[in-house]
Each structure stands twice: as structure tokens, then as C-alpha cells.
Amino acid sequence: MSDSQAKHFMHALKHLKRVVTDWFLCGMLIATLLAYFFPAFGSAGGGMHSEYVINIGVFLVFFLHGVNLSSEQIVRGLKNWKLHIMVQGFTFVVFPLIWLACSRLFGSHLPALLMLGFLYLCALPSTISSSVALTGSANGNVPAAILNASMSSVFGIFMTPWLVSMVVGSGAGGIDLGATLLDLCAMLLLPLVLGQLVRPFFGKFFARHKRYTNVVDKTVILLLVYAAFCGSMASGMWQTQGNTVILSAVVGSALLLAIILFLTTRTARALRFSHADEVAAVFCASKKSLAAGAPMAALIFGNNPGLGLILLPIMIYHPMQLIVCSIMAESYATRHRLLKAQESAPAQPMLSPSNNA
């Protein structure tokens, strides 16, 4: 193994260790195990009263998102329309088209609920926090990343249920699109707007305590994951699926991530984006939000006993995208340093013919 290969391998191990020791990702594993042993407690009508706890938690999470959303940074990122179109196009058009192609090829070989889970993954908006953090660490265009991730979250309130309804249908046998949109507006859009309204008064306070608001955010997601898997366990759905469904979800998520990273990188370079814009485009256009996905799934699919299986692809895709994109961020940062070094290096004077003599 060469020195450069060993260096990349050590970087990969470092990022893998960071993900493995992340309390939130470990919490997702613990939540699924608790659902296996104690499914009745988290099911609808159980001791946790998940139907009430989840609604309150979702409202609180999106209120906190609204308070922490910087409108000033969003305004600064408005100029680069080509970048915005690319990111939103990949998030809500290219991802679903990839699912459609894969559904034609592999749909008959996979459980219907797992394919629905991959559709839901492809219909979700981009992340905000990790997209912005990775863009910043790779010397990317942070204002553009904030704008696109925030726009994606708002668009997702309307686009995600609509894209799902395009496949499963609306009304009887599908999802009630009108009622779902009203629920999403009441539980996601309203608290987001309220958070923005109180931001001028309490924004600095929440910024100082952002570490605690992040804990609240992730705790609510863990409760959602636990409740979803409790419903699936109580219905007996997992017992009938077997371990092959988890392997299929892992392989499918890895394949989807590889395809989308290849396409986003090639598209950004074909559009001749600067280094900063390419970083923002790749990281925002390839990410999918578990923070938005878990609450929205509870509202879109209700008490569907297959909710745990529907959430499985995004639960696998989430840590996978963090590992791979963290490694890419290191590579982008190194490339940025080399470009800066080349730009700051003094130009070599050309020798005249008389000097060559």
C-alpha cells in the first residue's frame, strides 16, 4: 500500500470511528433494539402515548429549526441561480427518476414496503446542519449551502407527499394528499414560521444554547424511530421479512449514494462551478434528511404497521452519507489548500535569449 493510500485509509477509519461513537447513531440502534424487546410500550395506544408525544416533539423540532434559520445568510446566497436549480433539481427530480429506473429493474425482487421506503428516501429534502457543516469544512460556499438546504426543507413539506402520492396514489388505498398537506403545514410549516417570527427576540439566546436544542432535535427523532419500529414489531411485519431485507436496504442505499455522488460531481464540473460552488452543490444535492424524514413519515403514513420498514433506507443512508461525505470533505479541503498555494506562489521569471547565451 502506498503512502497516499495509507493516508486515505487512516482518514476513512477516523471518520468511521467518529460515526460509530456518535451518540445519536448509537441511539438509533438502541431504539430499534428496545422496539424489538418492548414493542407494546411505543405502539399507538401504548404506555408512551406516542400519538401525542410525537406530535408535540415534531412541532418543537421545527420551531427550533425556524429560530436557528439565519435569514441574513439566506439572502446572501440568493445570487447563484444555476447552483440553486442544480441542487433542487437533483433533490426532487433526479433522485425520484433514479428510483423509477431501479424500480423497473429490481422492484419485482424486493418487498413492496422496502421499495416504498426507497421512494420515500428519494422524495425527501436535503439536510441542513450536516450539509452546511461539511460545506464549511471543505471551504465551500456556505451561504449557498444554507439557502439551498433551507429551501429544500420548505419545498419538501409539499414535494415529498406529492411525489409519494404519484406512486402510491391518493385517496382510498393511498395517502389523502389534501389532509396530509394540511397536517404537514400545521405541524412543520407553522412552527417554522413561528420560529422565524420570534428569532429577532430570542435568536441570540437559542444560538448560545444550540448544543441543547440539537439534543432535543435528535431525541425527538429517536422517539420517532422507536415508535415506528414498535408498530412494525407489534404487527409481526419484521418476523415475516427476514434478514435479507436489511442486506437489500444496505446494498441499495450504497448503490444510490454512489450514483448520486458521481452524477452531482460530474454535473457541477460540467457547469464549470468554482471550487466553493462545487462543494456546496455536491454536498447539498446528495444528502437526504432523517431529521425531516422521520417526522414527515409519521404524518404521511400515519399508523402504517410497515413504517419501520419504510424508514429503514433513510436510517441506513443517513450514516452512510455522513461517512462518505466527511471523507470527501477532507479531499476537497486538501485540494483547496493546493489551489491556494499555487495561486500565491510567485511567478517564475522568463529568461531572455541573452541570459540563455
Domain presence at residue 1: no
pLDDT at position 102 is: 92
**What tens digit of pLDDT does each residue of 201-230 get?**
888 888 887 778 778 877 887 887 888 788
SS3 call for 175: strand
pLDDT at position 80 is: 79
Dig out the grid coordinates for 242 from the structure. 427476514
pLDDT at position 240 is: 64
Higher-confidence residue of 111 and 123: namely 123
Domain presence at residue 36: no
Domain presence at residue 221: yes
Distance, CA of 333 to CA of 75 (rounded, Å): 26
Mean pLDDT, the chain, whole residue set: 82
Residue for cell digits 541573452? 354
Question: Of 127, 130, 118, which is closest to residue 19 (Cα–Cα)?
Answer: 130
Count of structural domains, the chain: 1
Dig out the grid coordinates for 214 from the structure. 440539537
pLDDT score of 78 more than 80: no
How many Cβ atoms sit within 10 Å of the Cβ of residue 270? 8
Domain presence at residue 15: no
Question: Of 357, 240, 244, 254, which is closest to residue 313 (Cα–Cα)?
Answer: 254
**What tens digit of pLDDT does each residue of 4-36 get?**
556 655 655 565 555 555 677 788 788 888 888
Question: Of 325, 273, 305, which is closest to residue 84 (Cα–Cα)?
Answer: 273
Domain presence at residue 133: yes
Higher-confidence residue of 179 and 1: namely 179
Domain presence at residue 160: yes
**What tens digit of pLDDT does each residue of 297-313 get?**
888 887 777 888 899 99
Helix (H) or strand (E) run with residue 215 in it: helix 210-235
Check which CATH number belongs to the domain holding 71 and give it: 1.20.1530.20
pLDDT at position 302 is: 77
Domain presence at residue 140: yes
Task: Say if CB 69 and CB 196 are below 8 A apart.
Answer: yes
List CB contacts of 242: < 8 A, sequence separation 6 or more: none
Q: Compute φ and ψ for 217, nearest 5 degrees.
A: -55, -50
Domain presence at residue 285: yes
Which domain covers residue 66, as residue numbers? 48-329
- Cα 273 to Cα 75, 149, 186, 278, 284: the distances in Å are 20, 18, 38, 5, 14
- Cα–Cα–Cα angle for 231, 318, 23, rounded to 5 degrees: 80
Task: Say if CB 300 and CB 224 are below 8 A apart.
Answer: no
**What tens digit of pLDDT does each residue of 112-159 get?**
889 999 999 999 999 877 788 788 888 888 888 888 888 898 899 999
Higher-confidence residue of 124 and 176: namely 124
**What tens digit of pLDDT does each residue of 230-282 get?**
877 776 666 666 678 888 999 999 999 999 999 999 999 999 999 999 999 99
pLDDT at position 3 is: 60
pLDDT at position 357 is: 42
